[in-house]
Structure 1
Amino acid sequence: MSNSYAQPILRTADLSEALHVVKRLLDLADLEDLEIDFDGFVFSADVLTPLLELIPHSQWYAAGDTGGSSEKGDDPAAHFPVRFRAFAEEPEVVGPFLDVIGDSLATVRWDFMGWPEAPEVGLDVGGARGAFVTLGVNVRDLDLEEPSADYTVWVHVKYVEAERAPWLAAKVGLSVIGDLVMAPY
């Protein structure tokens, strides 16, 4: 498995605007096998407890040196901040997740079958390996290291199909606003 490459196309303080762009991108995609992945840094039980109730099979682990984790059965209250992760979720979980996440740093990643043909830039239909859209919440990067007070939308592509990112941005009336970077996991 190799990583995708992501390029930001929108930064906004308006969550509804960010979600509208995500929807427009998803309207272009082959949504067969659509799954949603969540990643975040959570700073309090006020956020983590409802997240664990919302996604009971999710995981958390201590972001610091304490070594605590859900896998060990530890109490997260002794280990904040914690890294929260959930994979292969249904799209209906996105809204409740965003309602609960508060000021935590998070990403929501839509994982699907592929991007459409982009004949204007010489690309055939793109496969699943580079087909993602990510919404950053309170963060400017995909590694959750640059806190912010806004939302960022990234399109993911294969490195050898880098031209697809600005093409996708143009398809939703935008342009790329940052560098193409290797995405985590």
Structure 2
Amino acid sequence: MSNSYAQPVLRTADLSESLRIVERLLAIADTSELEVGFEALVSSAAYLPTLEQMLPTAEWWAAGAGGSWGLVDSPPAHSVVRLRSWANPPVLVEPFLEAVGDSPTIVRWDFTGWPEAPEAGLGRGGTRGAFVTLCAYANDLELEEPAADHSVFVHVKEIDAERGLWLANQVGLRVLGDLVMAPY
């Protein structure tokens, strides 16, 4: 499986605005099959009980020697843990964002595909490259650049790079940077 390519279309200090833009992008997409993935760098033990209860099948990772990450069984035993959870129902998005507080976080919506865009010379997009990602309190898709604001990325196939611009235009925005290969 190849990676998608992502392009930022919004940066804002307003998390609610970010979620509204995500909703508008999802309204364009074929969401007949929609699921959500979460990833967060959690440094406050106060957030862990709620997150463990909300996402009982989540994977927890902690940094080891040399900066590499490894799976852990006891998240509270570590000062910073990386949470990963896939195939969640969309109704968990807002409770998850409340539960992680200001931790650098990724919420990724996976769906069936982007629509045809004949005016841009694009056919219907399939599941590969059909994602929208919200990076809360982070500027990047790997949570390596903490931030005070939030970014929304659209994902497309590299061959359909024009779709990012087309999608941004559909919701009254413009692309804010180049396509970058998504890490997942």
The interval holding the TM-score normalised by the smaller chain is: over 0.9
Please show how residues 26-175 of structure 1 align to structure 2 within 5 Å: 26-65=26-65, 69-70=71-72, 73=73, 75-175=74-174
Residue pair 1:68, 1:79 contacting (<8 A) in 2 also:
no
Deviation beyond 4 Å, 4+ runs, structure 1: none
TM-score for both structures, normalised by structure 1: 0.94
How far, CA to CA, are the matches of 1:170 and 1:64 in structure 2? Answer: 43
Matched residue, 1:177: 176
Q: In the superposition, relative to structure 1, how do residues 67 and 39 fare at CA in structure 2: closer, same or farther (>3 Å)?
A: closer
Residue pair 2:5, 2:155 contacting (<8 A) in 1 also:
yes
- Give the RMSD, CA atoms, in angstroms: 1.3
What is the percent sequence identity of the aligned residues? 58
Deviation readout 1:38-90 (Å, 9 max, x if unpaired): 011111211122111111111101023397634xx3x2222221110000000
Structure 1 residue 14: Cα displacement: 0.6
Residue pair 2:48, 2:76 contacting (<8 A) in 1 also:
no
How far, CA to CA, are the matches of 1:167 and 1:40 in structure 2? Answer: 29
Residue pair 1:3, 1:183 contacting (<8 A) in 2 also:
yes
How far, CA to CA, are the matches of 1:151 and 1:41 in structure 2? Answer: 15
How far, CA to CA, are the matches of 1:110 and 1:78 in structure 2? Answer: 30
Moved more, 127-136 or 57-66: 57-66
TM-score for both structures, normalised by structure 2: 0.95
Structure 1: give runs of 5+ residues left out of the alignment.
none
Structure 2: give runs of 5+ residues left out of the alignment.
none
How far, CA to CA, are the matches of 1:167 and 1:149 in structure 2? Answer: 28
